[in-house]
Chain A
Amino acid sequence: MRNMTLYVHLENGSPVHRMDPLTKMFYVFTSVVISYMLPTHLLVSIVLAVSILMLIIGKVFRSILPIIGVSFVLLASILVVQGFFHPDRATVLWDIGPFTLYKEGFSIAFLILLRVLNMVCAFGVLILTTKPDELVEALVQKGLSHRFGYVLLSVLQIIPQMMALTGKIMDAQRARGLEMEGSLWVRVKSFIPLLGPVVLRSLAETRERSIALEVRGFNSTGKRTRLHELPQYPYGTVAKTLLTSLLLFVIVWRIWL
C-alpha cells in the first residue's frame, strides 16, 4: 500500500466522478442530516437507496463493501444493545436462551443501522469518486488555509511511509536481541524501543521536509495558482439549490408541521 487514498480512478469517469467536490459535500451533508431527521424506516431507506444508487452510478459500489465490513462490529453492537436492552421493551420478538429480543428495541436499532449505513455510503460517494487533491483544493478556494490543506493531503501519503518504517525498525531491534513474540509483558516491553526511533526519525524527517517546502516557496506570501483547472460542473448550482430546498423542507416539516 503506497498511499491511503480510497479514490477509485476510472478511465472514463462517471457522472458522479464528474460532479464537483462542493456539490458532493453538499450531498453528503444533506443526506446525513435528513436521514437523522426523518422518522420512519421507509423514508430513511429511501435516503439510503439514493446513496446506494449514487454509488452504483459512480461504479464504486463494490469498493464500499469492505468499508461497510469494517463498520460491521459497530452495527452489530447497536443491534445487540438496543434490541435486548432498550427501556421501552414490551413486545417479545424472539427468545434466545436466557436473552429476549424485543420488537421496540429492534425497530430503533434497525433505524439507527439504516442511518449509519447511509452515512457510510454518502461519505463513500464523496471519498471514492473525488480525487483528494481536488477535494482539498475546493476547500482551499472556499477559504481553508493552504497549510491545513497541505497537512490533510500529506497525511494520506506519509502515514503509509511511517508504517513501512516501523517494519524496518522492528527488524533492527530484533537484530539486537529484542524479543517481540511471546507474552503480553514481552510485547509491552518491546514498545519503547520501537516507538523511540519512529518518533525521532519522524521529527528529523519533518525538519528535512520543512526545508524542502521552504525551498519550494511554500511560505511565500504572493498569490498562488493551480496547475489543474477544477473541472466545471454545469449542474452544480441546480443540484445545490435542490439539495438545500430538500433540507429546508425536511427541517420545516419536522419542526413546525
Chain B
Amino acid sequence: MSLLHVEQLKYRYPNRSVLALDEISFTVDKGEFIGIAGRNTAGKTTLCYALCGLVPHFFKGAYGGRVLLDGDEILASSLSRITSKVGFVFDNPFSQLSGAKFTVADEIAFGLENLGLPREVMHERIQESLHMLGIEHLRRKNPFDLSGGQMQRLAIASIIAMQPEILVLDEPTSQLDPQGAEEVFTIVEKLTQDGMTIVMAEKKMEKLAAYSDRILLLHDGKLIQDGEPAVVFSREDLMEMGVEPPIYTTVAKKYGLRKESSPFPVTLEELLAFEMDEPLDGLFPLQEKLETSHIHIEELSFSYSDGQKVLDSITLDLSSEPIAIVGQNGAGKTTLVKLMKALLIPSDGRIVIDETDTIDTTAAKLAKKVGLIFQNPDDQIFKKSILDEVMFGPLNMGITKAEAKSLALQQLKAVGLREKAEENPYDVSLAERKLIGVASILAMDPDIIIFDEPTMGQDYEGKLRLQEIIAGLHAKGKLVICILHDMDFVSEVFGRTIVVGQGKVLFDGTTKAAFSQLDIVQQAQIELPHRYQVARAIQQKREFAPRTS
C-alpha cells in the first residue's frame, strides 16, 4: 500500500470557472522524492494544497476524486489529523512564522504545544530539529530578526519537529537569495538521504533533477507525465509548456549527447560522461553601445540613521548599455538604486543624472527621468483594474486621461497583459503582477529604467519576456540597470556587470571578465552561471584527462 494515493483528483477554486486540477492520479511510496514541475499557473501550488488537506478543507470549492493518505481519505479526515501526518512548507518564510513566539526554540515548540506533547518530548524534538537544520546557534534569537534563508530553515524545523510522514515543499526557495536557497537545498538533500518522503514543487530544475526519483509534469491543471527526471526532461515539447530543462540537458540536447534511444543526461556527472566540446565563446553576448542618459556617481557614501554604513565611497559612470548589478544580500545594491532615484539622500558624495544632482530634486519629480521597479509589486498595487493601476503613474505626471490610457495600454501590450487590462490585479498570478509593476513604470516613459530583482518568481516564459522588454528598451535608447541574483539571466542579457560587496564596488567591466575572476566571485559570494559552470567543468575534465590518442 502506497503512502499517498491520488486518484482522479479534480478541483476548482470557489468563483472560478477553470479547473485548477484536472483528473490527476499518481502514488507516492515511503522514502520517495517526488518533484513537481510546471510553469506558473500549471497547478503546482494547488496540488500541494490538495496533498496536505488545505484543499478542500481550507479552500472550499468543487472537489472530485480521492486522495488517500495512509489509507485514510483526506476528504473525510479533519485538517488537524491530516496535518499531523503531512508537513507543509511554502515559499514565503515570513508569513510562516507564528508571530506569537519570541525565540526560535519557542517558535518550533508552537506546533508541538498544539499537538499536546509532553514537555520532555518537546525539548528533545526541538533539539533534534535545530541540530538537523543547522540553526542551533540561533535558538535564543527572535524569529523576526533572522535572514530569509534562516527563517525558511526555521519554518522547515518547525514542521520536521512535528514528525510528519510526508513533507510537502512548495517552491521553498523562490523568495530567497542564492545563498539562502543553497542553505535550504542542503537541508532538503540531507532529509532525502535520511529517508524522508518528500514532494517538492520547484523552478530550479537542476535541483529537481538531482533529487527526484520521479517528476510530475503539470500543465494547465493536468498531469502530463509522471516519470523519471531524465525521461521527463528529454521531452521535445517541454519548452512549449513553459518548463526549461536543467542546463545539463540543454547542453546535451544541443550536441545530441545520449546513448542511442535512452533519454538525455540531467545532471552534471551524467553529462561529463560524454565526450564533447562546449566552447566558452558565445556564452556572454556583448550589447551594442548606444546614446543614452547618463548617471554619474562620485565618491558616494551612505549610512542609515543608526550609523550603519551601507555604501562606502562609490564612483561609477553608468550609460550606453544594459548594466547588471550583482552581489550578496546586504551588499548595498537596493540602497544604491534608491539613491539614484532620490528616495534617499547621499551621506557624502553625489549622484548626477544627466544634468540634475539628486539632492536638488525629489523622487516624484524624477519620475520622468528615472523609473524604479521594485521587487514586490504588491507594495504598490491599489486600483481595482490593471489598466487603472498602470495609468496611476502617468496621471501623476499631469498628462490627460486619454493620453495616460493610451500609454498604459501600449505598455500592457508590451508585457503581454493587454487582454487582462480590465481584470482586478489580485485575480492574476504574482508573476503577472510583477509585469504590471513593470508596465506601470514604463508607462511614464522614463529615460532610465532600474529593475530590482525582476526575475525572482518568474518562470521560463516570464524571464524570456523580461529579456525582450530589456532589449526593446535598450534599442529605444533607454538606459537599463538591473539588480539581479539570477546569474544565468545576467550572463545571457548583460554585457556589463558591476559586482558590489560590503558597500564597495568590487568589479566593474564586461560580464565575461566578472565571472572569470574567481577571487571576486568568491569575495562577493555569487554563483557562476550554470552554462559557464558546465563549460568550465568540461574544460577541466579535458585538461586532467589522460591523453589516449
Q: Report B138-190 residues with CB < 8 Å from chain A CB.
A: 142, 144-145, 155, 158-159, 162
* Cα-based distance from A86 to B477 in the complex (angstroms): 74
- Nearest chain B CB to A88's CB is how many angstroms away? 50
What residues of chain B lie closer than 8 Å to A154, measured between beta carbons?
Answer: 98-100
* Cα-based distance from A133 to B100 in the complex (angstroms): 8
Mask: chain B, 102-123; 1 = CB below 8 Å from A; 0 = not: 1001100111111111110011
Tell me whether B197 is interfacial, beta carbon within 8 Å.
no
* Cα-based distance from A161 to B341 in the complex (angstroms): 24
Q: Is the interface of A mostly helix, strand, loop or mixed?
A: helix
Tell me whether B411 is interfacial, beta carbon within 8 Å.
no
What residues of chain B lie closer than 8 Å to A223, measured between beta carbons?
Answer: 116
* Cα-based distance from A22 to B378 in the complex (angstroms): 43
Whether the pair A216, B158 counts as a contact (CB closer than 8 A) is yes
* Cα-based distance from A133 to B142 in the complex (angstroms): 13
Whether the pair A169, B116 counts as a contact (CB closer than 8 A) is no
What residues of chain A lie closer than 8 Å to B431, measured between beta carbons?
Answer: none
Q: Report B64-121 residues with CB < 8 Å from chain A CB.
A: 79-80, 83-84, 87-88, 90, 92, 94-102, 105-106, 109-119
Whether the pair A217, B119 counts as a contact (CB closer than 8 A) is no
- Nearest chain A CB to B427's CB is how many angstroms away? 12
What residues of chain B lie closer than 8 Å to A168, measured between beta carbons?
Answer: 374, 376, 379
- Nearest chain B CB to A79's CB is how many angstroms away? 35
CB nearest to B164 among chain A residues: A215
- Knowing A157-B144, A176-B380, A217-B80 are in contact, say whether A133-B441 is a contact too (CB < 8 A): no
Whether the pair A177, B83 counts as a contact (CB closer than 8 A) is no
Select A169's contact among B112, B379, B392, beta carbons within 8 Å.
B379
Whether the pair B83, A172 counts as a contact (CB closer than 8 A) is no
Interface residues on chain B, number (Cβ under 8 Å): 69
Total cross-chain contacts (CB, 8 A): 183
CB nearest to B81 among chain A residues: A220
Tell me whether B367 is interfacial, beta carbon within 8 Å.
yes
Whether the pair B83, A217 counts as a contact (CB closer than 8 A) is yes
Tell me whether B501 is interfacial, beta carbon within 8 Å.
no
Tell me whether A132 is interfacial, beta carbon within 8 Å.
yes
Whether the pair B117, A225 counts as a contact (CB closer than 8 A) is yes
* Cα-based distance from A173 to B373 in the complex (angstroms): 10
Select A158's contact among B99, B142, B364, B367, beta carbons within 8 Å.
B99
- Knowing A174-B343, A175-B343, A214-B83 are in contact, say whether A5-B102 is a contact too (CB < 8 A): yes
- Knowing A200-B382, A214-B83, A215-B159 are in contact, say whether A133-B102 is a contact too (CB < 8 A): yes
Mask: chain B, 5-20; 1 = CB below 8 Å from A; 0 = not: 0000000000000000
Q: Report A133-171 residues with CB < 8 Å from chain B CB.
A: 133, 149-150, 153-154, 157-158, 161, 165, 168-169, 171
Whether the pair B122, A133 counts as a contact (CB closer than 8 A) is no
Whether the pair B99, A217 counts as a contact (CB closer than 8 A) is no
* Cα-based distance from A225 to B120 in the complex (angstroms): 11
What residues of chain A lie closer than 8 Å to B119, measured between beta carbons?
Answer: 225-227, 229
Tell me whether B54 is interfacial, beta carbon within 8 Å.
yes
Whether the pair A169, B111 counts as a contact (CB closer than 8 A) is no
- Knowing A168-B374, A179-B362, A216-B83 are in contact, say whether A197-B159 is a contact too (CB < 8 A): no
The 8 closest A-B pairs by CB, nearest first: A196-B382, A177-B367, A177-B396, A216-B111, A220-B80, A217-B114, A154-B99, A208-B95
What are 29 A-B contacts defined by CB distance under 8 Å?
A153-B99, A165-B379, A174-B343, A175-B372, A176-B367, A176-B380, A177-B396, A178-B364, A179-B362, A197-B380, A204-B378, A205-B94, A208-B90, A209-B96, A211-B58, A215-B54, A216-B158, A217-B83, A220-B80, A220-B84, A222-B116, A224-B116, A225-B112, A225-B116, A225-B118, A225-B122, A227-B105, A227-B119, A227-B126
